[in-house]
Amino acid sequence: MTKSNSRGTLVAGNWKMFKNLAEARQLATDILAGLPRQESTRPTVGFFPNAVALAAVAEAANGRESQVLVGAQNLYHEPEGAFTGEISADMILSAGARGVVLGHSERRHIFGETSEQVGRKVARALEAGLIPVLCVGETLEEREDGRTENVVEEQLLGGLADLSPEAASRVVIAYEPVWAIGTGKTATPEQGQAVQQFLRTRLGDHLGSAELADGIQILYGGSVKPANAKDLIAQPDIDGFLVGGASLDADSFLKICAATA
Ligand code: PGA
């Protein structure tokens, strides 16, 4: 399958648990100042700050919604209730945000989220009208045991469980090999492409439509930097990036955006 122009590219910054309110607002402002204005059918840039900073970052991006997707890093699948410490899809929307990262490897490995829980969150996000970015990825041990495809497939299908093909086609997927996250060890473009092509093929089987799968954005994440972005984005099934460390600095994030333009 070749890269279809209709998918476009998305470079999303996962700011993780970095930047307080003032710092997050400043980072958004600095990136927006350096980003050439553009109207697009799908956002090309994403900011995923912590929940405290979400409204301020959404406000900074006000008027540039067609270009910039602002989102949260997690949600809880219930509409509301006695769930101390959690945030709901409606709360995210009320902050002016329209996206949410779900099933990030730090959520899975540090906080023990299962694919079943992630699936409920993805379904809730879509129901509420948020764009979910569903993350999948294998650990080093799983890769060395030859289980990469089994692991990402289980996470992919668990994340899309019970969705209609039409709903599932609105999800953005991010392939993030756990061994490449925050380690400086990027997957080679060929390693990224191989898994992302596998994911697209499985999406086609699962949705019963290669055409729908061909329209789904699959991002790569794991030590993406200005220096490696160009080679990675040249791969046919890499439609953009989920960037951690390098998204915390406006200049390096803008360089990655420019590499994909
Ligand atoms: P990294 O993080 O770019 O710092 O490796 C990526 C991510 O966790 O989304």
pTM exceeds 0.85 for this model:
yes
Q: What is the C-alpha to C-alpha distance for residues 28 and 183, in angstroms, rounded to an integer?
A: 25
Q: What pLDDT, on the 0 to 100 scale, is given for residue 2?
A: 39
Tell me what the mean pLDDT of segment 12-28 comes to. Answer: 98
Asked whether residue 16 is assigned to any structural domain, the reply reads: no
Helices (H), the chain: 21-34, 54-60, 89-94, 105-110, 115-128, 140-144, 148-159, 165-168, 189-207, 210-214, 226-233, 250-260
Tell me what the mean pLDDT of segment 105-119 comes to. Answer: 98
Is 223 close to ligand 1, i.e. is its CB under 6 Å away?
A: yes
Asked whether residue 31 is assigned to any structural domain, the reply reads: no
Asked whether residue 231 is assigned to any structural domain, the reply reads: yes
Is 71 close to ligand 1, i.e. is its CB under 6 Å away?
A: no
How would you classify the pairing of strands 218-221 and 68-72?
unpaired
Tell me what the mean pLDDT of segment 156-167 comes to. Answer: 95
Q: What pLDDT, on the 0 to 100 scale, is given for residue 1?
A: 36
What is the span of the domain harbouring residue 175?
Answer: 5-10+49-239
Q: What is the C-alpha to C-alpha distance for residues 242 and 11, in angstroms, rounded to an integer?
A: 6
Asked whether residue 28 is assigned to any structural domain, the reply reads: no
Residue of the nearest CA to atom 6 in ligand 1? 244
Asked whether residue 36 is assigned to any structural domain, the reply reads: no
Asked whether residue 3 carries a pLDDT value surpassing 60, the answer given is no
Q: What is the CATH number of the domain that holds 148?
A: 3.20.20.70
Which letter, b or e, does each residue of 116-128 get, where b requires 16 or more Cβ atoms within 10 Å of its Cβ?
Answer: ebbbbbbbbbbeb
Backbone dihedral angles phi then psi of residue 43, each to the nearest 5 degrees: -60, 145
Q: What pLDDT, on the 0 to 100 scale, is given for residue 185?
A: 86
Q: Give CA angle at 104 (161, 214), nearest 5°.
A: 55
Q: What is the C-alpha to C-alpha distance for residues 248 and 225, in angstroms, rounded to an integer?
A: 11
Residue of the nearest CA to atom 2 in ligand 1? 244
**What does the pLDDT look like over 183-236, one tens digit per residue?**
888 899 999 999 999 999 999 999 999 999 999 999 999 999 999 999 999 999
Asked whether residue 40 is assigned to any structural domain, the reply reads: no
Q: Could you say which DSSP state residue 102 is in?
A: E
Asked whether residue 143 carries a pLDDT value surpassing 70, the answer given is yes
Which tokens belong to 249?
């600095």
Asked whether residue 34 is assigned to any structural domain, the reply reads: no
- Distances from the Cα of 164 to the Cα of 25, 124, 132, 197, 209, angstroms: 37, 13, 15, 22, 12
Q: Which atom of ligand 1 is nearest to the CA of 221?
A: 6
As annotated, the active-site residues are: 104, 176
Q: Number of folded domains in the chain?
A: 1
